[in-house]
Amino acid sequence: MFKSRVRIHILLLCSLLLVAVGIAPVAAQEPVHVVFWDNLFAIVEDGPREEQFILRAIDMFQEEYPNIIIDRVHQAPDLGTFDQLLRAASIAGNGPDVFNQFAGGSLISFSPFIEPLDSYFTEEEIAQIVGWDSVHDNFDPSAPLLGVPYGAGSYFAIYYNVEKMAEGGVDMENFVPPATWEELITLAQGIKDNGVLPFAIGEQEGYTGAWVMATLVGGLAGPQVFFDMRSREVPINSPEWITAYNAYRQMYDLGLTNVDAGSTPSGEGQLMFTQGESAMWIQGGWANKDLYNIFGDNVGLFPIPTLAASVYPGGIAGGPNISLAISNYSQHKEEAVTFIKFLLRPDILDLYVALNQTEPSNHLQADPTVIQNPLLQMQAESLLAGRTIYPFDNIMPGEINNMFYRLNAAVFIGQMTPEDAANEMQAAYDAMP
């Protein structure tokens, strides 16, 4: 008892001495809160947390970094709404520390509010990740690094229902995917002649046209063409653009799609296909998981083919979807970088692929065995050829993209000529600074 009292007195005396000389006891470090705005990592609200990538990844991060709290704010998936909210918050300087954006033009449009990441990454770290060309300011490799690409991205493809193709007269035992757009049209015409709807198209939003035009124009003019359009070295209303638009509208003119394609939302086009109303459907790789869960081995895919006159035949349109960036007004930049680097680790990217089964990893140390979905395997094999085309709407500013989507639908159903649509878009871009 006496010894205990002595210890207490000594401790009290020490505390008094510390105060007397101006030295206070060290307080416990308060955790830092990093605000993360996310609208691109899809979650199912009532799904198990451990099966949803971004939620599980944040939980894993918190275990390793208990003093950095990630405050995830799930924003509306509508891109226009998200951009408006992010821009308003950034102007006011009270937006997120970390945010996602589509790689390319969408990210670049926020460059005034972005912290360049060049000084935070070593050459060795950068060398392990593929897709950096989509996140440099103005797509210039010597310009500031605005964000990090996340995942290899989605590539556009034509999905097909094996049974419906066979019903449409296609010999599926010996089926060879069409190598050109012309061969695709011939294939679709034969399916139609056998009483089966070749394509389910929901073009109300104009997205399908964007994917097709990326392939056709990029094939005709080469994979650099959309970068050259952004820099105004090549006009949008080029002969290649007109040729591609005319090729695309063939699908509707020849009756190879549903008659209401122009007024059908994208989601309804998907429903038509999954309910067995068509032989084929055009979509991005993000559909891999859902389609395989629905069809199993009764579904396959092949790349959207280029036109026969292409200078870049076999080019596959697509690229990194998600990018992660840090705001230049953030008060917690170092902690934000720690979070982003955690997400870029090969084991975390492998988890992303394993849980989502929609796109490959963009890390050179990726584990290929985590790809279980045969559709994703097909897509990954197609990408090995390396003939890719970064799409127009990933490169251009949002204002032009919104017009592009609207015009795609109008051209597709014959409400507007390819020439008038291309000229309208050219005039709008010429008017921009």
Please tell me the pTM assigned to this model.
0.85
Class of the CATH-defined domain 32-146+322-358: alpha beta
> Which whole number is the average pLDDT over 25-39?
82
Instruction: Check residue 199 and report its DSSP letter.
Output: B
Instruction: Give the confidence band of 42 by pLDDT, cuts at 50, 70, 90.
Output: confident
- Specify whether the CB–CB gap between 256 and 192 falls below 8 A: yes
Q: What would you report as the CA-atom Rg of the chain, rounded to the nearest whole angstrom?
A: 26
**155-318+390-430 topology per CATH:** D-Maltodextrin-Binding Protein; domain 2 (3.40.190)
Could you tell me which residue, 310 or 47, shows the higher pLDDT?
310
The string of pLDDT tens digits covering residues 349-404 is: 999 999 999 999 999 999 999 999 999 998 888 777 778 999 999 999 888 999 99
Give the DSSP per-residue string, 128-165. TBS-GGGSBGGG-TTS-B--EEESS-EEEEEEEEHHHH
260 Cβ partners below 8 Å, 6+ apart? Answer: none
Residue 10: predicted pLDDT: 40
Residues contacting residue 377 through CB under 8 Å, at least 6 positions apart: 371
User: Which of 156, 122, 116 minimizes the C-alpha distance to 140?
Assistant: 116
CA 2 to chain centre: 70
pLDDT 10s digits, 255-265: 999 999 999 99
DSSP string, 219-250: HHH-TTHHHHHHTTSS-SS-HHHHHHHHHHHH
Q: What is the pLDDT confidence band of residue 11, given thresholds at 50, 70 and 90?
A: very low
| Residue spans in the chain of domains classed CATH 3.40.190.10 | 32-146+322-358, 155-318+390-430
Residue labelled with tokens 């799609």: 257
- Give the range among 9-13, 147-151, 294-298 with minimum mean pLDDT: 9-13
Average pLDDT over residues 203-209: 95
Which range, of 8-22, 181-195, 241-255, 301-315, averages the lowest pLDDT? 8-22
Query: What is residue 391's three-state secondary structure?
Result: coil
How does residue 28 score in pLDDT terms, banded at 50, 70 and 90? low
